[in-house]
Amino acid sequence: MEPKDDNLSAMCKPAAGEAGKTGDWRDATPVIDPSKCIASVKNRPACYLCWLYCPDGIVTAGIPVKIDLEYCKGCGICAEECPAKAITMVIRKEEKK
């Protein structure tokens, strides 16, 4: 038997993915060029403005920097803020529909 949602009002446990995989909202995908990204070039933790500005908190501040495309909505704020212009927003064929 399928467990039933017996909540009277809408609610959920705070967790990643509670609103579904929001990555499928995306039109354009951020692509990082490691030859320009400051953290990758210097090979040490640096800059991370993309991580700071991402409104969905789906950027991992590592070496290299990673973006979780399951949840990235493609807003492009990271590309806009990147001082090294290392992030390009790419509209891919399969995302054009």
Partner 1 sequence: MSHVEIMTGNQAAAWAARLCKVQVISAYPITPSTPVTETISQWVERGEMKTEYIRVESEHSVMTVCVSASTVGARTFTATSSHGLLYMHEQLHWAAGSRLPIVLCCVNRAVGAPWSISNDQQDSIAQRDTGWIQIYCRDNQEILDSVIQAYRIAEQVYCPVMVCFDGFILSHTMMPVEVPDDELVCRFLPPYKPHTILSPEDPRNINPVIFPWQRRDVEGVLRDGYMDMRWKLQHALERARDVIVETGLEYAEQFGRDHGGMLWTYRAKDADVLLAAMGSLATEATTAVDILREEGIRAGMVGIRVYRPFPREEVREAFKKIPAIVVFEKDISYGYEGALSADIKAALYGTGLKGAGS
Name the β-bridge partners of 32. 87
- Does residue 3 have a cis peptide bond before it, meaning omega lies within 30 degrees of 0? no
Tell me how far, at minimum, the Cβ of 1 lies from partner 1, in Å.
11
Nearer CB in complex with partner 1: 14/83: 14
Cα dist from 93 to 13, 31, 45, 63, 96, whole Å? 35, 15, 34, 29, 5
Nearest-angstrom CA–CA distance, 34 and 13: 36
**With binding defined as CB under 8 A, does residue 1 bind partner 1?**
no
Minimum CB–partner distance for residue 3 and partner 1 (Å) = 5
Draw the binding track, 10-49, toward partner 1 (x: CB under 8 A; -: no contact): xxxxxxxxxxx-----------------------------
> For binding to partner 1 (CB under 8 A), which residues are involved?
2-5, 7-20
